[in-house]
Amino acid sequence: MELIKTLPDVFEEFSEQRRNSFMSAFEMKEKNIPFVGTFCTYTPTEIIMASGAVPVGLCSFSDETIPDAEQDLPRNLCPLVKSSYGFAKTQKCPYFYFSDLIVGETTCDGKKKMYEMLAEFKDVHVMELPNRQSVEGRKLWKQEVIALKEKLEEKFGVEITEEKVREQVKLSNRNRLALRHFYELMKLDPPPMAGLNLYGVLYGSSFKFNREKAIQEVNALTERIKKEYDEGSRPIPKRPRIMVTGCPIGGNAMKVVKAIEENGGNVVCYENCGGAKSVDELINEEAEDIYQAIADRYLNIGCSVMTPDSNRLKLMGRLLEEYKIDAVVEVVLQACHTYNVESYTIKRFVTEHNLPYMCIETDYSSSDIGQLNTRCAAFIEML
């Protein structure tokens, strides 16, 4: 990263990284480097990297291919599932096209059935995700981690040694720490950047396939922002500090964040996938059983598919205090039943902390942008 670039240029570079990496992916495929498509933060990417393959996120956040998906899928299905399937079916997602293997996990019923349909296009390996973070669940998830290892060894004709796994665990932990130090800049008040810029870096960095270089670039960006802030730079005014929680966001769903920030709020914290919950916990590098350590770290992620989902509340409670949150906005995608039902628990949890809460149910269309602006403006004015 050239430090002579302005910060807006650097933020734009990260936000466009997914699109800009298409050619890099093509060049890597030309060198016979395999790609493994993933859908969820529960997927243990260290195992994939230890096989010599490149893990790449496939979830799409656009309504572009939903009409194509609805030719096969019901209309009243989660837009994330429909979008993901639509991009696979139409081959409009280069990363799906480049992927030699797709790894899914049984987070929800919609995805489980979609994986069956994706298997008509690609080789798909499904990991059986426990719905309880129990002793039995941890044993099962370790077995699934090892099953993924064996699948990758068979698929790519390689041996995944414990040494290779531990090497990738250390690299992934360094990456998580770099991203954590970056988003912790938002503890500053006023924040040093907009929430849209924050998410753009977090999301875009996952499409930098040279992990060492990505870590260096994120660390350099963190240092630069901190230095300019210490020297008096205040690009963002002091306004109500908002946490965004709920379903995975990105792409068209960022309209909610845009509505918050255009109507008087600062989004300073994302509890969603792609935000704090994705990188908050490290893997125990010194564990005697590295596969159990990997299984434990991933299974500890707080998500509405877990019952009870106590780890989500634990993380959220800590973030509310650390980021001095003034209000919480939950984003629930239409027909996402687990997050929709759990919004009752989240509302109660937030109000018990004497903070305002608003739940927004939406999809990837632009039809509700006017309503979003009205609701966000009224909510923030109340603050």
Please report, for the domain that includes residue 128, its CATH number.
Answer: 3.40.50.11890
* pTM (predicted TM-score): 0.95
Taking residue 382's Cβ as centre, other Cβ atoms within 10 Å add up to 10
Q: Average of pLDDT values for 125-145?
A: 97
| Residue 172 belongs to a domain | no
Phi, psi of 357 (to 5 degrees): -140, 140
% of the chain beyond a pLDDT of 70: 99
Which pLDDT score, from 0 to 100, does residue 2 have?
45
| Residue 294 belongs to a domain | no
Host domain of residue 85: 18-158
| Residue 77 belongs to a domain | yes
Contact 331, 362 (CB under 8 A): yes
Tokens 């529960």 appear where?
A: 42
Average pLDDT score over the chain: 95
For the stretch 25-64, pLDDT in tens is 999 999 999 999 999 999 999 999 999 999 999 977 899 9
Which pLDDT score, from 0 to 100, does residue 3 have?
45
Return d(Cα 190, Cα 241) in angstroms, integer: 9
Which pLDDT score, from 0 to 100, does residue 137 have?
97
Contact 193, 235 (CB under 8 A): yes
Residue 342, SS3? helix
Q: Length of the chain in residues, anyone?
A: 383
Structural domains counted in the chain: 1
Which pLDDT score, from 0 to 100, does residue 20 have?
87
| Residue 46 belongs to a domain | yes
Q: Average of pLDDT values for 298-305?
A: 97
Which pLDDT score, from 0 to 100, does residue 4 have?
64
The answer on pLDDT for 1 being more than 70 is: no
| Residue 133 belongs to a domain | yes
Cα 339 to Cα 40, 54, 104, 146, 351: the distances in Å are 15, 30, 19, 29, 18
Q: What 8-state DSSP symbol labels residue 283? A: P
% of the chain beyond a pLDDT of 90: 93
Q: Which region among 59-63, 177-181, 329-333 has the lowest average model confidence (pLDDT)?
A: 59-63
The answer on pLDDT for 180 being more than 90 is: yes
CB burial class (10 A; 0-12, 13-18, 19+) of residue 148?
buried
Contact 152, 192 (CB under 8 A): no
Q: Which region among 15-29, 136-150, 231-245, 295-309 has the lowest average model confidence (pLDDT)?
A: 15-29
| Residue 372 belongs to a domain | no
| Residue 222 belongs to a domain | no
